Chains A and B, each alone.
Chain A
Amino acid sequence: MLLIRNVKKNYGGDSIFSGISLELKKGRSLAVTGSSGGGKTTLLSIVGLLQQPTSGLVQLEGRDVTSLSPDAQAAVRNQYYGYVFQRSRLVGSLTALENVMVPAWLNRSGRDMEKRAHSLLCGLGLGHRLHHRPRELSLGQLRRVALARALLLEPPILLADEPTNDLDPVLADEVAGRLFEAAKKGNVLMMITHDPAVAARADDVYELEDGKLRIKDFARDVG
């Protein structure tokens, strides 16, 4: 589904990472761990077409999407990707329900999607918070609204940047559970996490250290 080939990213003269290649298959989940500032979020944003790599390419269903125009990439993002950002990134002037509806409004499928948005939020225990603004929601509620927004258009690829960060264990388990459940249904899931318990639920776990991506060696961690 998604192939990352020899991707390199520099900021100014500094290399963040180089030579990263990955394959993300339908129905598989992948977790990336690593120390803070190691470039995990940058890698996720390149995979998600939110920024361009310095070199290398991202192939989606065999097509190089890194060379597309910004507007064509935007259309790909809307059609293929669902994002849960490190911070929830909601629009402060919109209610919870409206925030979930944003991707649908942008691709003009608003009317059809309202029921689904409603049901997603209710399913995440936010039925009583539909018309509340972000400032009226708790951190856990914000994260669940962001999750509902990522799932609204049923995108084939889900990217999540520390989705359980700052959440209590029960909420963290619920949010992670939703994402892994989507992967089991045939989606691609790529997740960045510091939580070993969450990472352990992924099919593949990688570690990004010193600009290199390696398969996570749990045995070494335990040792």
Chain B
Amino acid sequence: MWGLVWKSLVHRRVQSLSTVLVVGMSVAILFSVALLYEGMANGMEAARQRLGADILVIPGDVVLEAGTVLFTGAPVNAYFPATVLNAIRDVPGVGQATPQFFSQTLPEKCCNLTLPVRIIGFDSASDWVISPWIKNPGNRPLGTEEAIVGSRVDVQDKLLLLGRPFTVVNVLEYTGTAMDYSVLLSLDVARELAHHSEELGSVWRTAGPPENLLSAVLVKVAPDADREAVIAGIHAQGYFRVIVATDVMQQMRKQLILLLTLLGLAGLLTLTASLLQLFVRFYSQTMERQSEWGLYLAMGAARKQIAALIAAEALCLSVSGALGGLVLGSLLYGTILGVIRGYYDFPFGSPSGWYVLGLAVTTLLLFVILGGMAAWLPAHRGSRSEPADIMTRGEYN
């Protein structure tokens, strides 16, 4: 019987290919949109958890997009005096404030690295932002020759930074942001390294020695405080950019939701088209191939064999279309992600292998069910064809 299924599909190759193609395209779009959605949801969640701060205060001359700084964790080489920290802490309504110092990016050819990494200094005593991401957190602060590395920094126990050896004492969990490509040192050590950096020498000549500078202050607003009043209070301390996490997140969420809605609509349209194609193809067969099925019945096919024949054809088309669509969808996912990243800075957490596998299996099952549904009517009618009909029909169908 499989021989008949195969011959039927091959001999109607234009019909078969067009059905497989339409099913494949809709699977590809659905699969890639679902992966993108999951990745973006992961990224937003990671960013939300990573940020842990309500407000990010950076020097006023930083021109980067708020979302870039906030969600990708991209460090910027702009600085303000360290005294800003205490001034901000004194603003009424500020619950907690912790400083960060962004040093230079080290290229992969430098040191013993395989990828470019950022050096970030943080204050482990006041920090609540980075600490939750440390895999095996301890209570003691980082030593002067100790470092924590992001999850994508490929080093063993030892790390050589600008000729200075460090022991890697911890690794961060995967965050889906630039933090994954960072080396974290204590605030003072990061400043000291930066002091001797030729690359940043001109910066220190203008801004003063790095020991007295900071790059960012992360602020948590006290539970009952008025956030707008806190923002106004911070602005009153000097020329800063104050990035409010919730505003940026809402804005970014709006943009991404719009984008995903458009992609999802495209997927739904293609899905509808492929469903129509499947149903039309198999429904039209009930008329076109009635005499063929009658002939098989006359030649000795059981009714359930005819039903199985029709269902097998539908399943072959939908499953092969779905399998092709999954491959195409994986390629589409990479391409769309690249294009979106070219226009937006947003946090992205690649979906886990289990999620991808589960999604692939679900998509495949969905199309197996749809193929079965499309074949049900023709299978039902075909299996009830009258073998005697063929006695009075034309030469061949």
Q: Once bound together, how far apart are the Cα atoms of A16 and B7, in whole Å?
A: 40
Q: List the 8 shortest-distance A-B pairs measured between CB atoms, nearest first.
A: A78-B300, A93-B11, A51-B388, A134-B396, A71-B302, A50-B388, A90-B396, A92-B396
Instruction: Judge whether B297 is part of the interface by a CB distance below 8 angstroms.
Output: yes
Given contacts A106-B1, A106-B305, contact A79 B300 (CB under 8 A): yes
15 A-B contact pairs sorted by A residue (CB < 8 Å): A44-B391, A45-B388, A51-B386, A71-B302, A74-B302, A74-B303, A77-B299, A79-B300, A85-B390, A89-B291, A92-B396, A93-B8, A102-B299, A107-B300, A142-B396
Instruction: Judge whether B12 is part of the interface by a CB distance below 8 angstroms.
Output: yes
- Name B12's contact: one of A45, A78, A93 (CB within 8 Å): A93
Instruction: Judge whether B301 is part of the interface by a CB distance below 8 angstroms.
Output: yes
**Contact in complex: B301, A106 (CB < 8 Å):** yes
Given contacts A105-B1, A135-B396, contact A50 B387 (CB under 8 A): yes
- Name B296's contact: one of A44, A85, A102, A161 (CB within 8 Å): A102
- Chain A residues whose CB sits within 8 angstroms of the CB of B373 once the complex forms: none
Residues of A within 8 A of B (CB): 41, 44-45, 48, 50-51, 70-71, 74-75, 77-79, 83, 85-94, 98, 101-103, 105-108, 110, 133-135, 139, 142, 149, 161
**Contact in complex: B395, A74 (CB < 8 Å):** no
Name the interface residues of B7-53: CB closer than 8 Å to any CB of A: 7-8, 11-12
- Chain A residues whose CB sits within 8 angstroms of the CB of B386 once the complex forms: 51
Given contacts A74-B302, A77-B299, A142-B396, contact A94 B11 (CB under 8 A): yes
Q: Once bound together, how far apart are the Cα atoms of A70 and B303, in whole Å?
A: 8
- Chain B residues whose CB sits within 8 angstroms of the CB of A90 once the complex forms: 395-396
- Chain A residues whose CB sits within 8 angstroms of the CB of B394 once the complex forms: 87
Type the 1/0 row for B221-259, where 1 means its CB is closer than 8 Å to any CB of A: 000000000000000000000000000000000000000
Q: Once bound together, how far apart are the Cα atoms of A71 and B302, in whole Å?
A: 5
Type the 1/0 row for B290-332, where 1 means its CB is closer than 8 Å to any CB of A: 0110011111111111000000000000000000000000000
- Name B292's contact: one of A91, A107, A139 (CB within 8 Å): A91
Type the 1/0 row for B380-397, where 1 means its CB is closer than 8 Å to any CB of A: 000000111011111111
- Chain A residues whose CB sits within 8 angstroms of the CB of B3 once the complex forms: 101, 105, 110
- Name A103's contact: one of B299, B305, B393 (CB within 8 Å): B299
Q: Once bound together, how far apart are the Cα atoms of A82 and B23, in whole Å?
A: 41
**Contact in complex: B1, A91 (CB < 8 Å):** no
Instruction: Judge whether B4 is part of the interface by a CB distance below 8 angstroms.
Output: yes
Nearest CB in chain B: distance from A122 CB, A: 21
Q: Once bound together, how far apart are the Cα atoms of A74 and B394, in whole Å?
A: 22
Nearest CB in chain A: distance from B294 CB, A: 9
Q: Once bound together, how far apart are the Cα atoms of A83 and B397, in whole Å?
A: 18
Q: Once bound together, how far apart are the Cα atoms of A50 and B296, in whole Å?
A: 11
- Given contact pairs A71-B304, A74-B300, A89-B295, enumerate 4 new A-B contacts (beta carbons under 8 Å): A101-B3, A106-B299, A107-B300, A142-B396
**Contact in complex: A87, B393 (CB < 8 Å):** yes
Residue of A nearest to B387 (CB): A50
- Chain B residues whose CB sits within 8 angstroms of the CB of A102 once the complex forms: 4, 295-296, 299
Q: Once bound together, how far apart are the Cα atoms of A74 and B295, in whole Å?
A: 11
- Name B397's contact: one of A44, A48, A92 (CB within 8 Å): A92
**Contact in complex: A106, B395 (CB < 8 Å):** no
- Name A71's contact: one of B7, B295, B303, B396 (CB within 8 Å): B303
**Contact in complex: B395, A134 (CB < 8 Å):** yes
Residue of B nearest to A93 (CB): B11
Q: Once bound together, how far apart are the Cα atoms of A94 and B10, in whole Å?
A: 10
**Contact in complex: B396, A78 (CB < 8 Å):** no
Residue of B nearest to A79 (CB): B300
Q: Once bound together, how far apart are the Cα atoms of A108 and B298, in whole Å?
A: 16
- Chain A residues whose CB sits within 8 angstroms of the CB of B298 once the complex forms: 48, 50, 77, 83
Q: Once bound together, how far apart are the Cα atoms of A115 and B298, in whole Å?
A: 23
- Chain A residues whose CB sits within 8 angstroms of the CB of B296 once the complex forms: 102, 106
Given contacts A106-B305, A134-B396, contact A75 B390 (CB under 8 A): no
Residue of B nearest to A134 (CB): B396
- B1, B3, B393 — which one has the most chain A CB atoms within 10 A of its CB? B3
Residue of B nearest to A101 (CB): B3
Name the interface residues of B261-289: CB closer than 8 Å to any CB of A: none
Q: Once bound together, how far apart are the Cα atoms of A88 and B394, in whole Å?
A: 8
Q: Once bound together, how far apart are the Cα atoms of A81 and B387, in whole Å?
A: 13
Nearest CB in chain B: distance from A91 CB, A: 5
Q: Once bound together, how far apart are the Cα atoms of A142 and B397, in whole Å?
A: 13
- Chain B residues whose CB sits within 8 angstroms of the CB of A77 once the complex forms: 298-300, 387
Q: Once bound together, how far apart are the Cα atoms of A223 and B12, in whole Å?
A: 56
Nearest CB in chain B: distance from A165 CB, A: 11
